Structure 1
Amino acid sequence: MNPIPYVDIHTHLFRPEKETITVQNIFPGEGFAAFSGRNFYSVGLHPWHIKTPEENNQLLVQVEEALEFDHVIFVGETGLDRRSETNFEEQKRVFEAQAFMAEEYQKPLIIHCVKAYNEVLEIHKKMEPGMTWIFHGYNGSVQMTQQLAKQNFFFSFGEFLFLPGTKAIESFRILPLNKIFFETDEYDGEVEYMYKQGARLKKIPEEEITMAVWDNFNRIENKLMSRF
């Protein structure tokens, strides 16, 4: 048994692993279980699911209702996606609304971003948020990664770490350990595989990277330590 738990910062699957902290993504209005010890939730309106402004406002109310629960610990995933067919200006409005919720409810923000890093960075600079913003499924260039890291973003890595030649691998290698998380997203395997791959890429012991991610998680969710 690993004395330090793995953290799966973003998953779409219910994963009742006893030795892993999971943050399961749910959508507005979707039901979720009571707090069970190590299974937490995030809730957000995804850019793929943008509708009319009126419909989006109703969905945002449902997001806010879910944020009232203590075990819903992140806002998101939300974000910007230039490949999506949904209206980009409405994506930005909805994203900013959820970023404000993250501030109001004091919960970190999980970000889906495709070809819109500059726009997310611009909004971040405008808002100057106090809460942590985390790019999930990160696959940005080294140059963009360096720029974002200076603005105190965090980066969550998943299956891209197993694909040779991806930007994610080079960006992962240059990031300090205090900036990274791991996730399974829609992958049906265990997050442990991401940790092992990350340790290989960094050429460090798995225990070192496990401790670093655990420290990162507790740094952004400093109330968690008292729950175990």
Structure 2
Amino acid sequence: MRQETQLFLSYQTLIDIHCHQYSQVGHMQILSRDAHELSNKADGILPKPQASKHQTEADLLLSAGYFSLGIHPWFIELQNTDTAFQTIASFMHHPRLLAIGECGLDKCIDTALDKQIDIFTQQIKLAQQFGKPMIVHCVRAFSELLQLKKHLAPSQAWIIHGFTGKPPLAEQLLKHGCYLSFGKALLQSGSQASMALLTTPNDRLFLETDAADAAIDTIYTAAAKIRDVDIACLQQQILNNFKRVFMHD
């Protein structure tokens, strides 16, 4: 992956840290996949890039993308968890697997929180074992989330995706070493996410599209306007974070 990474880093692009829809355009995506979607075969986990005579090698790298893999709390009941963990483990050495997740805790679903905590804890340990950062989903369970982080003390980065909370919650998460990823909420004028973005340090920031219709360049434009910085500067900051968290530079 190191050789591909150097090629990627020489190419001006935007980074979509978490998405559910593949888009073959000139930016880098981490496509989120759930264990129940996959078998133990790597074929089909990522869409195959379509080459054309106008595409450079860098274009093909970017269009191929990367992925994360985990057990989302919404899908716990859709699968046998032992089988799901076997599936995840079988992909741990895939060259394009960058993270575990999305995974986490959600108090707005029927699955018992104790069961969610058990499944999430196993994924934390898996991420620690294989040295992978985590893409974290959390809804109304931040107290439990931070208790787990304090108790388990993982060294791998946790990226709270789709953050929409108030600045005090952002400050608490940042204090515990989390990264924050912002998405479509930034497009809403005066949103809590916009205020939290202003207080998020450069070195803890990511941007994403998640399942939104908005393109990643639209998210970058909104974030740059809110932070009152040039998009190129914001792009470099997020690229630096990506290298540090996912490529261990």
TM-score by length of 1: 0.91
Equivalences for residues 61-100 of structure 1 within 5 A? 61-100=86-125
Which residue in the other structure is 2:160 paired with? Answer: 135
Q: Per-residue deviation at 1:56?
A: 1.7
Which of 191, 194, 198 does residue 219 from structure 2 map onto?
A: 194
User: Is 1:203 equivalent to 2:203 in the alignment?
Assistant: no
**Residues 1:37 and 2:61 are matched in the alignment:** yes
- The C-alpha deviation readout for 1:87-133, integer Å capped at 9, x for no partner, is 11110000011111111111110001000111111111111111100
CA-based RMSD of the aligned residues comes to: 1.9
Instruction: Answer whether contact 1:9 1:22 (CA < 8 A) is retained.
Output: yes
Q: Give the structure with higher Rg (CA).
A: 2
Structure-1 separation of matches of 2:106 and 2:191: 19
Matches for 1:1-228 after TM superposition, within 5 Å: 4-18=12-26, 20-28=27-35, 29-30=37-38, 31-33=44-46, 37-38=61-62, 39-51=65-77, 55-222=80-247
Letter in 1 for 2:219: M
List structure 1 runs of 4+ shifted beyond 6 angstroms.
none
Deviating more after overlay: 212-221 vs 67-76: 67-76
User: C-alpha separation between the residues in 2 aligned to 1:189 and 1:144?
Assistant: 25
Point out where structure 1 has 5 or more consecutive residues left out of the alignment.
none
Q: State how many pairs are aligned.
A: 221
Shift of 1:66: 2.1
Instruction: Provide the rounded CA distance (Å) in 2 between the counterparts of 1:207 and 1:64.
Output: 37
Q: Hey, what's the Cα distance between the residues in 1 that align with 2:45 and 2:23? A: 13
Shift in Å, 1:58: 1.8
Residue type matched to 1:72 in 2? Answer: L
Structure 2 unpaired stretches of 5+: 1-9, 39-43, 50-59
SS in 1 for 2:209: coil
Residue deviations 1:6-32 (CA, integer Å, cap 9, x gap): 1000000112223x1110011114241
TM-score, with length taken from structure 2: 0.83
- Per-residue deviation, 1:3: 5.1
Equivalent position amino acid for 2:213 in 1: D
The answer to whether the Cα contact below 8 Å between 2:184 and 2:214 also exists between their aligned partners in 1 is no
- Helix, strand or coil: the match of 1:51? helix
Hey, what's the Cα distance between the residues in 2 that align with 1:118 and 1:165?
A: 26
Percent identity, aligned pairs only, is: 26
Q: Deviations over 1:65-87 (max 9, x none)?
A: 22231211110000000001111
Q: Deviations over 1:145-165 (max 9, x none)?
A: 111111110011100111234
